[in-house]
Amino acid sequence: MEVKDIFSYDWTYLLPEFIILGFATGLSLLDLFAGKRLGKHAIGLLSLLGIVLAGVFVFVNIQTMDQPYSYMADMIRIDDYGNAFKLLFLGGTAFTILISLSYMRQSEVAHRGEFYYLLLSGLLGAMVMASSADLITMFVGLELLSLSSYVMVGLRKKSLQSNESAFKYVVSGGIATAVTLFGMSYVYGLTGSTNIYEISQRLAEAGMMGFQFIIYMAFAFLAVGLAFKISAAPYHMWAPDVYQGAPTPITAFLAVVSKAAGFALVFRLLLISFLQVPSAEGQFFLTQGSLFIGWMAAASMILGNVMALRQANVKRMMAYSGIAQAGYLLVPFVPPTTLFFSEVIFYLFGYLLVSFGVFAVIMVVSREQQTEDLKGFAGLYHRSPVMAISMTIFMLSLAGIPITAGFFGKFYLFMGALAQENYWLSAIMIVTSVISYYYYFGIIRQMYMRAGENEAPLSVPKGIWVFIFILAIATVFFGAFPGLVTDYIQATFNPSFDFGNMLPTRTP
Amino acid sequence: MDQVNNLLLSSLVFSPVLAILILAFIPNHQGGAIKKVGVLGTLLPLILSLFLFASFNYGTANLQFVEKHDWISIPISQDPSGTVYSLEINYELGVDGISMPLLVLTAIIGVLAAVASWQIKKRLKEFFILFHVLFIGMLGVFAADNLFLFFIFFEMTLVPMFFLVGIWGYGEREKAANKFLLYNGIGSGIMLLAFIVIYLVTQTMNMEQIATIFSTPQHPIASAISPAFRYGLFLALFIAFAIKLPVFPFHTWMLKVHVQAPPSIVMIHSGILLKMGAYGVLRMGIGFFPEQAYQFSTWLAVLGIINILYGAVLAFVQKDLKMVLAYSSISHMGIVLLGLAAMNTIGFQGAMFQIVSHGFISALLFFLIGVIWDRTQTSMIDELGGLAKSMPFVSGILLAGGMASLGLPGMSGFISEFFAFLGLFGSLPVLAAVGALGIVLTAVYLLRAILRTTFGPTPDRFARLADAQPMEVIPMVVLLGFIILIGVYPAILGNPLQQTLKTIVPIVTGIGG
């Protein structure tokens, strides 16, 4: 490829990524040369500005594009699928910055500047993951997000726990990367290509020529390796330690943005690459492949919800809850249809609202109580009714009780699973949801039914109070009127094209 | 029907919102004002429900006061050309002869339970707000004509109950609240599963349409699924509601709630929430799948008999008055099952009478236990005794309530048991004969429990107890009044039921028999 070819592309579609990249590098330089003279919140506010700008251009892209735009043979591919996920990433990162701005302690993180531009580089990684259709760029995006996250988890340099969790995260992340790469190497070996659309066709040919076993191995390695990023079984064990040790805003970032990015990558990579592979029973992906994912989903739901029952630390509990949520999110892939997209995006949207609400409340409570124990929530209702009621709404949403966004998301997934006559997974979903009532209501019990050590009103800074309040209202609002979101998804995005119109439709 | 009329049912269902809003603005320390608003707020639903009852047309089996608005529309399937089909969830309300009396029952018990809540001493504001949220849920369940809406209202009763039991209950309140939550959570889950599968088969969530589709012989949509599949759906619905009813062996949660919850909440729980299970079995189990219900009727009767005998035998050996009544509730719910198992008009009528009558009777008895506990701090039969001397009025009402419960002629309990057994003798005489044994046992355990508490020597510490206060007299007299009213003038309940049951029964017997 010559230089003039590179200039022949219309680079305006990549503006969101460029903006984030520019802000990340610019802010790091600014911090280096003028860090001392800047106000406390300057870098944070500037990164927020960058995210808003990038968001505006993502919206412009969504409005102006009617078909995907591809750079350099799909190395980067701007399409509806990626754009929808990008909105979630940008929203999630903006929320992370908001809760850090109003609440991060000076002592907790020594280098505030680093915190923000690492977040931006992590966000950039997530955005690349969502908008590439090539193994190389996918991997680059994955690593960019992972490396930024490793550092962010360990940002509390003087905290032993933070160090420990960063170390665990690096080691298990490294192994996961190795497993993923190993799977990719099989794929490349069979197909000689890194473009997933080419891979899709060549794997189908390879499948017909009798290389099925290797294809299955590749699929299994990729699925297991990538399970790390979405914290699904069998690669979930890192989550509790890391969630517990990381600064709380970073935990929220990992729980939402990093997880959503993992899903964006997993779905696109596995679905497109393996969809056309034939097998004895028809299409491999629609039979054995999705069954494999179904086991992962079932294991995540069961392990996550059962292990969460025994946790005394709120952040660990939320980690296990996140594992279970990852399990629910895998359900629309068993087997996938064209409608998986709106199901997943709606669920992630609800999860975004609720997770940030929960972690913001955890920040408020744990900072004041000096503990992240469940007991720290005791008597919260008497000390700050609004915090307690908001937290109750978030818990109801996570448990899937109406009228909340979480209920409708789960209802939608559940309905999809039943429409696919996927009864065994639906049954597991129901039973594990009911198990989850116990620990979600455990927090509610603490807040309303137990006496706390002190009864003085909890002082909650204005900013975070408003933030939590708005999220709680939004959780209920989108639970009562989910159509607003699903209609928008349906009217704006048409990802079936991104999947080469290969996905089976769910006929009425 | 004009526009104003069209909003009647919604305004009934959401009328407790007014009280919630007012309560939210009263400062915590003004306990008296909170109580007044909490109680007066329940009068609005009562007035509206009585107005609806008065303007209810007995002559038709159709749904009345129907409301329909678009609500949610989500893409659910897509054909290969890309056309998207949406799931339309409408906001649909409507009442017929079955749900109308239950709405009135809910409103009446709601008012009286609010009066009984006068004894609540801590965290009044939260109590009454949650109480009214629960109220909305209960009214909504009986008014909903859409599966999704029904489910939302059904779940809306779950969360407030968790708090009401968990915060204001007795010693083991949290355990009771958890047990309540988990059992009912499983029930709701199974219910949701059945609802969605029904939707996927019929492409509608409107309850009336679903009933029509499944009960029309050779309907193209209904015949697309096998009878075995339909039987599975029927069983799923039955289990979901059997947990609520509760049917043995799903009853353990209900005992805990009866013992641990505060008296006014037990009135609601025993008087209305359990009835939601019975209503669900009749409206959805039998209403949607008459053929399968008919095939299942023998088992239904067997389960009913188990409930009756199990409840009666265990009620006999209980030491706690609350436990006696809890087991008695199980026993009486068995009679509902027997009435349903009869699969004829008289039997269904018996079941409906039993639902309403037991609502009043159990509310009365649990209210009395609350009154006694308030003065003696105990409900153990051995510790009580001779209350008739110090509290003659309360003891008298207690005896009257017991008589109603064991089916004394002239009171509502008699009518309902009579109809239920009459119906069952028509279809399953042997099982009916076995079940009738339960009636004898009822007399034994109730008289034992009540006579031991009211008669005999009065312990010294109970010699100077105050008799009923005016605030306590109202619910007692009103409830007893309704019990006797239904007993001597059953047509007040029978008339609205008539037309609706007349349409269900021929379908059941027509398909099944």
Q: Are the Cβ atoms of A448 and B84 closer than 8 angstroms?
A: no
Confidence of residue A71 (pLDDT cuts 50, 70, 90): confident
Closest CA to A144 of A126, A166, A167: A126
Q: Which two tokens stand for residue B13?
A: 């269902």
Q: Which of A383, A408, A423, A430 to mutate to test the interface with B (most CBs of B within 10 A)?
A: A430
Low-confidence ranges of chain B (pLDDT < 50): 1-4, 512-513
* Cβ B78 vs Cβ A506: under 8 Å: yes
Give the pLDDT confidence of B352-378 residue by residue, as tens digits: 999 999 999 999 999 998 888 888 888
Q: How far is A157 from chain B (nearest CA, A)?
A: 41
Residue A276's CB: how many other CB atoms inside 10 A?
19
Contact list, B185 vs chain A (CB under 8 Å): 433-434, 437
Contact list, B199 vs chain A (CB under 8 Å): 415
Render the burial of B307-330: b for 16+ CB within 10 Å, e for the rest. Answer: bbbbbbebbbebebbbbbbbbbbb
The pLDDT of residue B60 is 79
Q: Are the Cβ atoms of A430 and B151 closer than 8 angstroms?
A: no
The pLDDT of residue B84 is 73
Alpha-carbon distance of A242 to A143, in angstroms, equals 17
Q: Are the Cβ atoms of A445 and B73 closer than 8 angstroms?
A: no
Using the Cα atoms of residue A227, residue A233, residue A238 and residue A243 in order, give the sign of their dihedral.
positive
Domain extent, residue B125, equals 3-512
Contact list, B130 vs chain A (CB under 8 Å): none
Helices assigned H by DSSP within A36-111: 42-64, 80-103
Specify the range with the lowest mean pLDDT, choosing from A111-115, A366-370, B278-282: A111-115
3-class DSSP state of A275: coil
Nearest chain B Cα to A389, which residue? B126
The pLDDT of residue B2 is 42
The pLDDT of residue A508 is 52
Q: How far is A122 from chain B (nearest CA, A)?
A: 33
Q: Are the Cβ atoms of B197 and A445 closer than 8 angstroms?
A: no
The pLDDT of residue B510 is 64
CB of A339 within 8 Å of a chain B CB? The answer is yes
Q: Which two tokens stand for residue B397?
A: 């009402």
Alpha-carbon distance of A15 to A27, in angstroms, equals 18
Alpha-carbon distance of B85 to B73, in angstroms, equals 10
Contact list, A411 vs chain B (CB under 8 Å): 192
Nearest chain B Cα to A496, which residue? B82
Task: Report how far apart, in Å, the C-alpha atoms of B380 and of each of A166, B323, B452 are.
Answer: 59, 9, 10
The pLDDT of residue B68 is 86
* Cβ A95 vs Cβ A55: under 8 Å: no
Nearest chain B Cα to A342, which residue? B75
The pLDDT of residue B82 is 64
Contact list, A505 vs chain B (CB under 8 Å): 77-80
The pLDDT of residue B302 is 93
Contact list, A486 vs chain B (CB under 8 Å): 73-75
Q: Give the phi and the psi of residue A69 in degrees, each rounded to 5.
A: -115, 130
CB of A110 within 8 Å of a chain B CB? The answer is no
Alpha-carbon distance of B72 to B413, in angstroms, equals 43
The pLDDT of residue A107 is 52
Q: Are the Cβ atoms of A487 and B73 closer than 8 angstroms?
A: yes
Contact list, A481 vs chain B (CB under 8 Å): 72
Q: Which two tokens stand for residue B117?
A: 């809540």
Contact list, A441 vs chain B (CB under 8 Å): 162, 178, 181
CB of A25 within 8 Å of a chain B CB? The answer is no
Alpha-carbon distance of A215 to A224, in angstroms, equals 14
The pLDDT of residue A502 is 63
Contact list, B84 vs chain A (CB under 8 Å): 490
Closest CA to A260 of A327, A345, A199: A345
Nearest chain B Cα to A484, which residue? B72
Q: In percent, how much of chain A has pLDDT > 90?
A: 51
The pLDDT of residue B239 is 93
Q: Are the Cβ atoms of B74 and A414 closer than 8 angstroms?
A: no
Give the pLDDT confidence of A376-421 residue by residue, as tens digits: 888 888 888 899 999 999 999 999 998 899 999 999 999 888 888 8
Alpha-carbon distance of A178 to A226, in angstroms, equals 10
- For chain A, which residues make up each domain, given as ranges? 320-508
Radius of gyration of chain B (CA): 22
Alpha-carbon distance of B427 to B348, in angstroms, equals 12
The pLDDT of residue B512 is 47
The pLDDT of residue B81 is 66
Nearest chain B Cα to A488, which residue? B74
Interchain CB contacts (distance < 8 Å): A and B: 101
CB of A402 within 8 Å of a chain B CB? The answer is yes
Q: How far is B512 from chain A (nearest CA, A)?
A: 29
The pLDDT of residue B375 is 83
Contact list, A382 vs chain B (CB under 8 Å): none
Q: Quick check: A319 pLDDT over 50?
A: yes
Confidence of residue A104 (pLDDT cuts 50, 70, 90): low
Alpha-carbon distance of B296 to A44, in angstroms, equals 66
E strand or H helix at A71: strand A69-71
Confidence of residue A219 (pLDDT cuts 50, 70, 90): very high
E strand or H helix at B88: strand B84-95
Q: Are the Cβ atoms of B190 and A426 closer than 8 angstroms?
A: no
The pLDDT of residue A111 is 61
Q: Output the DSSP codes for B238-278.
A: HHHHHHHTTPTTS-HHHHHHHHHS-HHHHHHIIIIIHHHHH
Q: Give the phi and the psi of residue B91 in degrees, each rounded to 5.
A: -90, 105
The pLDDT of residue A342 is 86
**B211 contacts: CB under 8 Å, gap ≥ 6:** B287, B288
Confidence of residue A440 (pLDDT cuts 50, 70, 90): very high
Alpha-carbon distance of B245 to B354, in angstroms, equals 13
3-class DSSP state of A299: helix
Q: Output the DSSP codes for A248-261.
A: HHHHHHIIIIIHHH
Q: Give the phi and the psi of residue B144 in degrees, each rounded to 5.
A: -70, 140
The pLDDT of residue B203 is 84
The pLDDT of residue A493 is 81
The pLDDT of residue B171 is 84
Alpha-carbon distance of B302 to B324, in angstroms, equals 22
* Cβ A420 vs Cβ A506: under 8 Å: yes
Contact list, B76 vs chain A (CB under 8 Å): 339, 415-416, 419, 506, 508
Nearest chain B Cα to A448, which residue? B167
Q: Within 13 Å of residue A218, how many CA atoms lie on the same side as its CB?
A: 24
Q: Quick check: A105 pLDDT over 60?
A: no
Q: Give the phi and the psi of residue B488 in degrees, each rounded to 5.
A: -95, -20
Alpha-carbon distance of A166 to A243, in angstroms, equals 10
The region that residue B2 occupies, defined by phi over 0 for left and psi between -120 and 50 for alpha, beta otherwise, is beta
Higher pLDDT pick, B508 / A149: A149
Q: How far is A421 from chain B (nearest CA, A)?
A: 9
Peptide bond into A234 cis (omega under 30): yes
Q: Are the Cβ atoms of B158 and A401 closer than 8 angstroms?
A: yes
CB of A189 within 8 Å of a chain B CB? The answer is no
Closest Cβ opposite residue A483 in set B72, B173, B203 = B72
